[in-house]
Chain A
Amino acid sequence: MSPGNEGFVDIAAEPFEKEYLDPVHRVGFWTSIAISVAMFLPALLLYLIYGAFAPWAAILAGMGLALTYAVPFFIIEPISYYPVYGDAGNYMSMTTGNVSNLRLPCAAVAQAVAGVPEGTRKGAAIAAVGIAVSVIIGVAGVFLGSLAGGWIVTLFPKWLTDAFKIYLLPAVWGAVFGQFALRGPVYAIPAVIIAGVPLLLGWKAYLVIPVAVFGTILVAWALYRWRNIAPRVG
């Protein structure tokens, strides 16, 4: 098995940068641009084939509403997730979506299986493997799901489809939280309280998420600064 945390040896900086990071940024940049361009394709094809194009007023009003919801997450998500999944993980996650419910759990399990701490060069490469696998099988799964449509649902008893719809996601959040709570048990309760209080006050998600992330980091920093408490690195 791969090296554990004890005596952990990271990949040297030079080969990591030259043989991995440089091509990651080169390919990541162009594929992210290509995905961005491809996002215009549906509207373009709809216009070219059917001559249908939305009125500009409707587009601007709809974009205004949609961006009000999305813009804070353009900034918050990469900053919050990057320490766990690294550069390649960020390119893949920000171009394929479903980050918190799929990409991040796969990255976390990959690192746990390899016994490698997140935030290291090895951790970043291993997270990239986990996320890449989730993208490939995720696309295949969604394609089959789209083709099979409602037929798949009929194969499962109703209680199971209901359980998937209602309870799987909360169980995913809990499971990943439990995994990381082992790495930093002293941060676990403060993390829930810091997120829970503004939620009970009815704050919007785009405000609560940065408060939760940076508030927990602040508590962790204080514990490190004054009590020398930190997760195991190796």
Chain B
Amino acid sequence: MDWKAIANAPWIWFAGFVQAVIGVGQAWYFLRLATRLLGKHGGYQRKDVWAIVRGAIITAFGPIMAEIFVMMALIIAISPAYAWQREGVGVGSVFTELVQVSNAAVGAGQEFGSPSFNMVGFATAMVVVNVSCIGWSLGAAFFTRYLAKARDKIARGDPRFLAVISVASTLGIFGYYAANEMKKGGGRPTAVIAGAVLSAFLFKLADWLKVPRLKEWALGIAMFGGMYIAHLLGS
């Protein structure tokens, strides 16, 4: 049987559903727990929580659409069911998925995307791409409870220094991603700079105008605005 047909058969949709049920169940439980805590001990009313949810939905829209577009490469190269199984709740990022499939193919002595890739290559990929990412989930299971202790030990109970660590580490991560895109050239530096300027401006504008609801939209508008400006100036 052709590996492409097997790669879109019900078994792989089913495997994706099992993962999705666990992932969504976990998220739903944490959502309930966090909203209950915020309502009971944080002084948040239902409308406040809804504003947070709305902000997250607006922000998630762009990256999810981008994920779906990039996923098309997986759908074409392998199958829709494979894209669902790996990207629904699959630990890995859509951007690194094809790299890992290629690594698996090399392990099987084949080249992904060439006629040499066959059932052996696909079976190897199914083991390698799925099992190689359990380091993240097992790490979460066994080490999450120690992350707070490590952070508090570094900050030594000083809330100002805790804020220093949080903001500096986030700027460090996104400084890396931003610099990495800028290095690639083309319209990408424009997208980074336009996204950054728009986002900073919109968050500041929300404070100036005293319209906190604008913050729900700020990151979403900045993402699409940055993308559109880069399209206009970069091509």
Contacts and interface: CB of A to CB of B under 8 A. Distances in A.
A62 B108 contact: yes
A167 B227 contact: yes
A144 to B, nearest CB: 8
Contacts of A220: 164-165, 167-168
Contacts of B83: 142, 145-146
A46 B195 contact: no
B31 A132 contact: yes
Contact of B60 (A133, A181, A213): A133
Contact of A180 (B12, B150, B170): B170
Contacts, number: 627
Interface string B94-132: 111001100111111100000000011011111111111
Interface in B6-24: 6, 9, 11-12, 14-15, 18-20, 22-24
Q: Is the interface of B mostly helix, strand, loop or mixed?
A: helix
Given A53-B123, A135-B24, A178 B130 contact: no
B200 A167 contact: no
B135 to A, nearest CB: 4
Nearest to A50: B6
Nearest to A147: B80
Given A41-B15, A80-B172, A152-B68, A98 B24 contact: no
Contacts of B62: 168, 172
B103 A66 contact: yes
Given A82-B151, A174-B178, 13 more contacts: A24-B30, A35-B22, A39-B133, A55-B124, A59-B128, A113-B216, A119-B163, A126-B52, A170-B181, A176-B199, A182-B204, A191-B171, A230-B163
Interface size class for chain B? 35 or more
Contact of B71 (A146, A195, A215, A217): A146
Q: Is the interface of A mostly helix, strand, loop or mixed?
A: helix
Nearest to B70: A165
A65 B129 CA distance: 11
B208 interface: no
B77 interface: no
B212 to A, nearest CB: 5
Most buried by A among B65, B120, B196: B196
Contacts of B43: 2-3, 9
Given A25-B145, A133-B56, A220-B164, A65 B103 contact: yes
B188 to A, nearest CB: 4
Given A136-B27, A163-B228, A119 B56 contact: no
Contact of B107 (A63, A137, A162, A232): A63
The 6 nearest A-B residue pairs measured at CB:
A62-B107, A174-B195, A171-B226, A191-B175, A178-B196, A216-B172
A153 B182 CA distance: 27
B175 A192 contact: yes
A132 B56 CA distance: 9
Contacts of A164: 65-66, 69, 227
A218 to B, nearest CB: 8
A130 B57 CA distance: 8
B128 A217 contact: no
9 contacts: A12-B41, A65-B107, A91-B26, A91-B30, A108-B219, A113-B52, A150-B76, A167-B234, A170-B192
A98 B93 contact: yes
Given A61-B107, A129-B31, A145-B68, A172 B84 contact: no
Nearest to A119: B166
Contacts of A39: 19, 91, 130-131, 133-134, 137
A145 B52 CA distance: 25
A198 to B, nearest CB: 9
B137 A94 contact: yes
A33 B122 CA distance: 25
A82 B26 CA distance: 18
Nearest to A87: B144
A91 B169 CA distance: 19
B168 A36 contact: no
B192 A219 contact: no
Nearest to A9: B43
Interface in A47-100: 49-50, 52-55, 58-67, 69-71, 73-75, 77-84, 86-88, 90-92, 94-100
